[in-house]
Chain A
Amino acid sequence: MTATREGATFASGTAADPAMAKHDMTLTLRVWRQKGPADKGRMVSYTVTDISPDMSFLEMLDVLNEQLIQAGDDPVAFDHDCREGICGMCGVMINGQAHGPEQTTTCQLHMRKFSDGDTIDVEPWRASAFPVIKDLAVDRRALDRIIQAGGYISAPTGTAPEAHSVLVPKKDADAAFDAATCIGCGACVAACPNASSMLFTAAKVSHLGLMPQGQPERNDRVVNMVAQQDREGFGGCTNIGECSAACPKGISMENISRLNHDLLGALRAGARPKS
């Protein structure tokens, strides 16, 4: 294998089709296959060939699915949408890491991060709050319900107000924007040893709680969102930090501290979750 690879690299300068020379990866994939929510599921091995280092991980899965369809097998179900790293739809565990070895989304992870001959384990996010729909696709509506519990502001709609009429300190605007970059992919839950959604909820609480528009509902927001994440069956946060290390947007642990600060303040002020 190594000899072939070196030969191809050496020859690429003079080869008629240099792109062909780069189609040189053969990988063994161990993919979680589960027919439906009731199925038990198992890891199944597949070999994929002609994988370009420039492919994204999802494109590599596309190649696998083409192979499976041509062979008359059921293709692997996985979630994806924008493939630009901004929608939060994709996400699988790759070799035990949420979104794989690079701190980005699965769609932005490229096969150059792997080597020819590698064995790659691909599993769905695992949490009781994220039930498997099929194969690698999980139901993440629990995160939507946390947003519905308080991740919004109530404001009369109409013409957008003049941007300078409400002043926001630069420091707060930056911190709020950092928190607002959360795309809700669920990698934090997947990576957390407790399967806790604390980083997600904390990002939403921080994002709105730092803005003037978020103040009227600040106390109710935090107690209701935390109560909802408990109801969804997520685990509790023990500040280990796996979430932040796996987050494609690098949402920081300080948001969790800010959530706790807001929560303690809200409870002291008498805010109680809606039952």
Chain B
Amino acid sequence: MAVSGIVMLLYLIAHMIGNLKIFAGRESFNGYSEWIRTIGEPAVPAQTTLTIIRIVLLVAVVAHFWAAVSLWRQAKQARPQRYVTKKPVAQSYASRTMRWGGVIVGLFIVYHILDLTVGAVNPAGTDASPYDRAVAGFSNPFVTAVYVIALILLGMHLRHGIWSATQTLGQSNKRREKTVNLFALVFSVVLIGGFLIVPFSVLFGLVD
């Protein structure tokens, strides 16, 4: 859970920073997209680096999902009879929504890939450039709303996930606990803010 999560987290950092290229204009954004597909050329064939990244991410997603399902099933078996009354004391909204939040984020990623990577469900279609696809998609308030909801869920997922991974890898202690939780919160807010700024800029006409 922790290791696969960290792999995806590292990718998200790069993804968020890459997205900000949209503010440098159409040429820069499309050029960046093209560059990802040609890293290492001509020493290696086109798309080699991208394919490696995709395989690593796919393995991480599968491992993360498998671990989550195991934990979920284990928890169900560990308490077959539920309490008539149960009052949560310490759990945060983030920790309570890890499972369903994770499923929703997973489904969102499928939609997101079909929308902006493949272009199959994008209004501008598969032939448009990445920049045009982003602008065409986010100009629709409903599309933007889907992205906003999914990204906020992802932010909460990361908020609990970063703390939980620190515990799982045995790197937390009483002294660090507050710092780890504060870092998790600030990191999640900054990362998700970085992602959200793009659809909002398109929606409000700052990027077109």
Give A residues with C-beta under 8 Å from B: 30, 32, 43, 93, 95-97, 121, 123, 126-129, 191, 193-196, 233-242, 244-246, 252-254, 256-264
Chain B residues positioned under 8 Å from A238 (CB to CB): 71, 95, 98, 164
Distance, CA A244 to CA B90, complexed state (A): 8
A-B CB proximity, top 5 nearest: A261-B170, A96-B87, A235-B78, A195-B78, A245-B90
Measured between beta carbons, the chain A residues less than 8 angstroms from B170 are 257-264
Q: In the bound complex, how far is the Cα of B80 from the Cα of A114, in angstroms?
A: 30
A residues near B168, Cβ cutoff 8 Å: 239, 260
One of A32, A240, A257 near B90 (C-beta < 8 A): A240
Is the pair A194, B71 in contact by a Cβ cutoff of 8 Å? yes
What chain A residues lie within 8 Å of B87 (beta carbons)? 95-97
Closest to A43 in B: B84
- Which residues of the other chain, B, contact A262 by a CB distance below 8 angstroms? 170
Q: Give every chain A residue within 8 A of B80 (Cβ-Cβ).
A: 128
Query: What would 9 A/B residue contacts be, using CB atoms closer than 8 Å?
Result: A127-B78, A127-B79, A195-B78, A237-B167, A238-B164, A244-B90, A246-B89, A260-B168, A263-B170
Which of B15-23, B50-58, B171-179 forms contacts with chain A? Answer: B171-179
The answer for the CA separation of A259 and B164 in the assembled complex, in Å, is: 14
Query: Which of B74, B78, B166, B173 has most A Cβ within 10 Å?
Result: B78
Number of interface residues of B (CB under 8 A): 35
* Chain B residue at minimal CB-CB distance from A120: B85
**B interface residues with partner A (beta carbon < 8 Å):** 70-71, 74-75, 77-91, 95-96, 98, 160, 163-164, 166-174, 177
Q: Does the CB pair B78–A191 fall under 8 Å?
A: no
With a 10 A CB-CB cut-off, give which of B79, B98, B166, B172 has the most chain A CB atoms. B79
How many whole Å from B101's CB to the nearest CB in chain A?
Answer: 13
Q: Smallest Cβ distance from A93 to chain B, in angstroms?
A: 6
With known contacts A242-B90, A253-B172, A123–B85 Cβ distance under 8 A: yes
Indicate which residue in A93, A241, A253, A258 contacts B83 across the interface (CB closer than 8 Å). A93
A263 to B169, CA, bound (A): 9
Q: Does B85 contact A96, Cβ atoms closer than 8 Å?
A: yes
Q: Give Cα distance in the complex from A97 to B87, angstroms.
A: 6
Q: Find chain B residues with CB under 8 A from A129 CB.
A: 78
Find the B residue at minimum CB distance from A40: B81
Q: Shortest CB–CB separation between residue A145 and chain B, in angstroms?
A: 15
Q: A241-B90, A253-B172, A257-B173 are in contact. Are A195 and B75 (CB under 8 A)?
A: yes
Nearest neighbor of B163 in chain A, beta-carbon distance = A239
A126 touches B71 (CB 8 A): no
Is B173 a contact of A126 with CB atoms below 8 Å? no
